[in-house]
Structure 1
Amino acid sequence: MLSLIIGVFFAILNETLLNVAYVQLMKDFEVTASTIQWLTTGFLLVVGILIPITALILQWFTTRQIFLGAMSIFAVGTLICAFAPNFSILFVGRLVQAIGTGLLIPVMMNTVLVLFPKEKRGSAMGMVSLVIMVAPAIGPTLSGIIVEMFHWRFLFFFVLPFIVFSLVFAFIYLKNITKLTKPKVDIPSIVFSTLGFGGIVFGFSQAGKGTAGWSHPEVYLFIAMGVISLIVFVKRQLQLKEPILDVRAFRFPMFTLATILTVVLMMTLFSSFIILPLFLQQGLFLTAFATGLAFLPGGILNGIISQMSGRLFDKFGPRALVIPGSTIVVIVMFFFSKVTILTSVTTFIILHCSLMLGVALIMTPVQTNGLNQLPPKYYPHGAAIINTLVQVAGAIGIAVFVTVMSSSQMKFLEGVSGNVVANQAEALIAGVQNVFAIGLVFASICFLLALFIKSPIISEELDGVEETENQANVAP
């Protein structure tokens, strides 16, 4: 686990490490904001395409082979980015990095499921959550320090020594823990999966940039292609004896509930991840570095509480954590929907810390509870499904909330006249309030779903959904 945590931490850290450097990159490479956004869109696109087929990869290659291979690919991508002479080469390096990252996350989650007994899995998933939440939280802060003191290339030079250390550490200590079944590779399934998840992520990402708009063919045609391809993909998986992503995992009610709740929660989070930095910089006029610092306490608190909530889950089950956590999220989103230009930075930090506390009480218990219900044969499929849908939820969240904010600002400005600067400030407040009002709706849905969470009846022997035993544990 330590081998995996070290590698995955720096892979996920890399996801947000470039965010603060985008302005400098635009100047150095003489590209526009819509072009530089491809460093994020392309990364999400590759990860969204790759994660669904990791369930197949996990059954064809050993833990050591996948981890060492993925970290080596990530190292190559980091080197390409560090020495990139132009934007095109930097973009290629980011795509190569995304391949490594997309392989690493499901490997770590599947290892937890295989390595730890169910009664200790909460603590282990807490370690996973610590990595997944803290790494992107400290990314912007670290990026601000490095960009301010050094050149942006040091963002990649900084990561390289840790990648090398992770490779050496894993080569010495990482063991093979999975049984290889080497199922038949169904090429049409891979094609439909790529078109489905890739089309949806790309379409929503383009809409979220605010340049294409929902009515642009680039948006709705890709989303339509993605939806149709996913329908064909799911139908094919149900027909295959050895599917690459076994959607029969959704026959287990607690897993299904965990997946839906996780997706809705991620949508809620993106209302704060995307909009709050914009408001702090454009509304309260904080620097990028100061904005990164404002988010740091919440990220660290989330990591600490995630670890604690994992242990508490092992003792008390999911309901004692998920219901209070979802209640906190609802309250925080309500207060966020009332912010104004006079709201202090301290208030934002307190609200953000409270939000991260609520998320920590939900995420680890919900995912652990859902995955616990799955039989061992579904472990790689369950991990791949949750991680894939989180990426899709991210793309949809960005698109929805950026669109709401932009349209709210435009609508406000159309109905007023007078001082341009004052009107823009009021328009920004109107946009932010509308975004968090929608976030409050998502948070309320999370709370309602949390009421149905319960500890599943677990049977280690259940190895499919066709068995007649434990029918109470399987949805009709």
Structure 2
Amino acid sequence: MSNLSDIQKKFFINVLLATSFTFSISQSAMTTIYPTLMKHFSVAVSSVQWLTTGFMLVMVLMMPLSPWFLKNVPFKAFLLSLQIIFLFGTLVAITAGNFSLLVIGRLLEGAAVGLLFPSFQSVILSITPEEKRLTQMGLVGLVMGSALAVGPIVSGVILEIFDWQAVFSFFLLILIILFLLSLKFIKNVMPHEPYHFDVISSISLMGLVMLLYALQTMTTKITISLLFIFFVGLLLFGYFVQRQFSIKEPLLDLRVLKNAAFRLGMFLTAGSYIALIVTTVLMPIYFQKILGVNALWSGLMMVPAAISLSILNRRSAEVMKRFGLKTTMLIGSAMILIGFFGLLITCQIKLWLLAIIFAALVESGNAFMMMPAVTYANNALEKDLIPHGTALITTVRQIAGVIGVLIISQVLTLVSKPLQVSMKGMLASFAVSAILAAILLILVLRIKNRGANKLL
């Protein structure tokens, strides 16, 4: 493992975070250009959504594989390979003559993103002393949170001036620059500890993709074929989990789940991500369908929440050092609960300012929840298990996001019937969100002060 000087480490982390930021923007940038792509390729909304759904499924499939790559492939070669895969996928998307090629380009991007997201967090945790991890993970939270919010804004601005290919060209240009910087500043910082790649485990991981696909599709319809996919996926994924505990060199070491502090941190991370993703789904619907504003204004109304999340992510480490982990996460979970409860009791007033304030409160609460929970969970592990822990947390977080959106979408649809979206549906959705936030607060109360302080 390379010993980096402070200057080298600074450039190393900045290039790594910039790559992750660019990858993350690409994850959320598509929604703004959906209408343009539907018109250009003459496809329905159910088809165009595969640009995000397919991206997410491939991303989740790749995440559990990241520990193997980190231990078996020199990190510099690994990162450069991911950048090349992403660049190639982006190039395929730019030159796509039909919709299928565009989807293939997005799938390649999703594969690169899925391998990078757990890996870059593992690397930063591994090269950072424990006493400085809070600050670094606050920076990671800033990058991840702000990128998801910035994506639709960036693609919207580009689309106002250029055509849809320019959105992909923007990512292409940025990644070429980052690739050149990586050649100079990225070093092999992870220990080379090769172990066997379990092919059977990687095949059984398809069960997770089948599960998520079935769950997502069930939001619009439930068919016999979907139920078949769901149960086959459940069996395959169950076998994957069982196999990880039974073989000597697991693809994803699930022994981390035996650590109570890690488990709690993982569930807290998942819960805070549900709150974040549900807010980004519900609020544009509320702004457009209930308040009657257009898509551009609904996007702009989410900017204050994104700004507050970005600012507070940088402050979370300071708050934690001053008040301790449990108090910090109590503040975060309380903000999320108050935000959802505020939306529940004020949404009938139809005052956009109140909606913006309470949505910002929910997202701001995440600054004191998500990355502190990740740090708490991983600090409970031995250093060699951190890549496995991070991969598991990232995967569970994505699964939780899918399930959270599924629950809220079903509540909104069922209560709103026969209308597409009604005030009753929004009230029910905010009520369920508030209940989930209350459960999150109860979980935070289970953190033991003495154990938490030991891990910081």
TM-score between the two structures when normalised by the length of structure 1: 0.89
Give the drift of 1:454: 3.6
Aligned to 1:47: 59
1:188-199 alignment runs, 5 A limit: 188-195=200-207, 197-199=208-210
Which amino acid in the other structure matches residue 110 of structure 2? A
Aligned to 1:152: 164
Whether 2:293 is the aligned partner of 1:286: answer: yes
Unmatched runs of 5 consecutive residues or more in structure 1: 414-423, 461-472
Partner deviation per Cα, 1:46-103 (whole Å, 9 max, x = no partner): 0111101111111111211111111111111111112212211110110011011111
Whether 2:324 is the aligned partner of 1:312: answer: no
Q: Which of 194, 198, 212 is the matching residue for 1:201?
A: 212
Report the more deviating stretch, 36-45 or 340-349.
Answer: 340-349
Q: Which of 391, 412, 428 is the matching residue for 1:405?
A: 412
Provide the C-alpha distance between the structure 2 equivalents of 1:344 and 1:257, rounded to a whole number of angstroms.
37
Provide the C-alpha distance between the structure 1 equivalents of 2:66 and 2:85, rounded to a whole number of angstroms.
15
1:242-391 alignment runs, 5 A limit: 242-340=249-347, 342-391=349-398
Provide the C-alpha distance between the structure 2 equivalents of 1:348 and 1:55, rounded to a whole number of angstroms.
41
Q: Which of 16, 24, 49 is the matching residue for 1:4?
A: 16
Aligned to 2:6: none
Whether 2:429 is the aligned partner of 1:435: answer: yes
Provide the C-alpha distance between the structure 1 equivalents of 2:197 and 2:62, rounded to a whole number of angstroms.
15
**1:52–1:245 contact (8 Å) kept in structure 2:** yes
Q: Secondary structure at the match of 2:381?
A: coil
**1:310–1:364 contact (8 Å) kept in structure 2:** no
Aligned to 2:144: 132
Partner deviation per Cα, 1:189-223 (whole Å, 9 max, x = no partner): 1111222x211211112123x2x2xx323433222
Provide the C-alpha distance between the structure 1 equivalents of 2:84 and 2:199, rounded to a whole number of angstroms.
26
**1:238–1:246 contact (8 Å) kept in structure 2:** yes
Which amino acid in the other structure matches residue 392 of structure 2? I
Provide the C-alpha distance between the structure 1 equivalents of 2:163 and 2:288, rounded to a whole number of angstroms.
22
Which amino acid in the other structure matches residue 207 of structure 1? M
Q: Which of 31, 38, 44 is the matching residue for 1:32?
A: 44
Which amino acid in the other structure matches residue 438 of structure 1? V
Which amino acid in the other structure matches residue 197 of structure 2? V
Q: Secondary structure at the match of 1:285?
A: coil
- Aligned-residue sequence identity (percent) comes to 29
Q: Which of 435, 444, 451 is the matching residue for 2:438?
A: 444
Report the more deviating stretch, 302-311 or 97-106.
Answer: 302-311
Distance 1:137 1:115, change over 3 A: same
Provide the C-alpha distance between the structure 1 equivalents of 2:301 and 2:77, rounded to a whole number of angstroms.
39
Whether 2:69 is the aligned partner of 1:62: answer: no
Give the drift of 1:342: 4.1
Provide the C-alpha distance between the structure 2 equivalents of 1:357 and 1:161, rounded to a whole number of angstroms.
32
1:153-168 alignment runs, 5 A limit: 153-168=165-180
Provide the C-alpha distance between the structure 2 equivalents of 1:217 and 1:38, rounded to a whole number of angstroms.
21
**1:301–1:357 contact (8 Å) kept in structure 2:** yes
TM-score between the two structures when normalised by the length of structure 2: 0.93
Provide the C-alpha distance between the structure 1 equivalents of 2:77 and 2:224, rounded to a whole number of angstroms.
41
**2:206–2:237 contact (8 Å) kept in structure 1:** no
Provide the C-alpha distance between the structure 2 equivalents of 1:114 and 1:270, rounded to a whole number of angstroms.
28
Large movers: runs of 4+ above 6 Å = none
Distance 1:241 1:315, change over 3 A: farther
Q: Secondary structure at the match of 2:443?
A: helix
1:219-234 alignment runs, 5 A limit: 219-234=226-241
Provide the C-alpha distance between the structure 2 equivalents of 1:316 and 1:435, rounded to a whole number of angstroms.
33
Give the drift of 1:340: 3.6
1:56-205 alignment runs, 5 A limit: 56-195=68-207, 197-205=208-216
Provide the C-alpha distance between the structure 2 equivalents of 1:19 and 1:315, rounded to a whole number of angstroms.
39
Provide the C-alpha distance between the structure 2 equivalents of 1:147 and 1:342, rounded to a whole number of angstroms.
34
Q: Secondary structure at the match of 1:337?
A: helix
Which amino acid in the other structure matches residue 47 of structure 1? M
Provide the C-alpha distance between the structure 1 equivalents of 2:104 and 2:332, rounded to a whole number of angstroms.
40
Q: Secondary structure at the match of 2:147?
A: helix
Aligned-residue RMSD, C-alpha: 1.9
Which amino acid in the other structure matches residue 278 of structure 2? S
**1:44–1:201 contact (8 Å) kept in structure 2:** no
Give the drift of 1:314: 4.3
Q: Secondary structure at the match of 1:151?
A: coil
Give the drift of 1:402: 1.3
Q: Secondary structure at the match of 1:244?
A: coil
Give the drift of 1:161: 1.6
Give the drift of 1:291: 1.5
Give the drift of 1:240: 1.2
Unmatched runs of 5 consecutive residues or more in structure 2: 1-12
